[in-house]
Amino acid sequence: MKKLPLSYEDLWIQRWTSPFSRQSSFGVRHGLGHDCAVLSSFSKNLDLVLKTDAVVEGIHFTHSTPAALAGRKALARALSDLAAAGATPRAALVTAGCPNLRSAARLRQAYRGLSLLAKKFHLPIVGGETVRTRQLLLSISLLGTVPRGLSPNRAGAKPGHLLFVTGKLGGSWPRRHLTFTPRIAEGQWLVRNKFPSAMLDLSDGLGADLPRLARASRIGFRIHPKQLPLAPGTNLKLAFTRGEDYELLFSVPPKLIPALLRRWPFSTPLTPIGSCLPARQGYHTGRLPLRGYDHLR
């Protein structure tokens, strides 16, 4: 039986954050280890959703990436996590790390790209911070809202639930990782209609993110490689392991599936790719490797 892998990133997070108490605090519905933090106790009808995400030159984009696209990507990645929480983005903070005055033009371009995407989602940028760093860096913090008690996390999938993905996988390079549209509308619709038992966004590839869902939900799974929706010009292995798809992966109880397929209102493809198993039945992916992009390796 395949062992469920822990990426370097997962291991680091486990080791480093152990000083932070994981005891549930008043009003914290989901905390550390989830895509977003979800907080209740502020409003009768809404939960608050918090997310922070950073992109760094040399890791998430290169010196030759147009800065406007780097800025856009910084915000789009964070929005993708809000999509997985079914949240509506409400406010953004932008932290910029910048090496020197010569980088000012590049940073301004990055802000411009970021700003255009924010406008598309009616998202006000309400604050931020500038620090001097050795490489260009953009860190985004988002506040969102979701109807109270509805936000799924990674831990609700049960044996028998079907696994779905939105969109197509593996087409992130060379350009889509810079230009993708976060699945905010799809995530909101799914959550408001209570379809997903667990949901996350695919940032490191199905081969890395599916094990995260499985570990949190304590389930096994069987993926049908032939059913994976491939982007043009990619192959199965790349689609499984390359990452940066920023699509939604979610599980749905079987009785809800006819309604989901009938009512799905988007042109975005919606594809069943496999099913959840009892944990003891293990992890079945055909021959696809259970690994993805690991930016800390």
Interface contacts to its own copies, rule CB under 8 A: 9, 12-13, 15-21, 25, 27-28, 31-32, 34, 36-37, 39, 42-43, 46, 48, 50-56, 59, 90-91, 93-97, 104, 107-108, 111-112, 114-115, 118-119, 124-135, 137, 139, 141, 143, 145, 295-296
- CA dist., res. 205 & res. 285, Å (int): 13
Residue 115 or 188 with smaller CB distance to its own copies: 115
Q: Residue 16 is encoded by which pair of tokens? A: 């480093």
To the nearest whole angstrom, how small is the minimum distance from the Cβ of residue 200 to its own copies? 14
Least separation in angstroms between CB 122 and its own copies: 8
Task: Decide if 173 contacts 242 (C-beta within 8 A).
Answer: yes
Residue 118 CB, nearest approach to its own copies (Å): 8
- Tokens 């090496």 label which residue? 99
Taking the complex as a whole, the smallest distance from the CB of residue 258 to its own copies amounts, in Å, to 35
DSSP secondary structure letters along 196-214 = -SEEEE-SS-HHHHHHHHH
Q: Distance of CA 66 to CAs 30, 33, 63, 79, Å?
A: 36, 32, 8, 20
Provide, rounded to whole angstroms, the least separation between the CB of residue 159 and its own copies: 28
Q: Closer to its own copies at the Cβ: 119 or 192?
A: 119
The amino acid at 140: I
Strand order in the sheet with 137-147: 28-30, 37-39, 46-56, 137-147, 88-98, 125-132
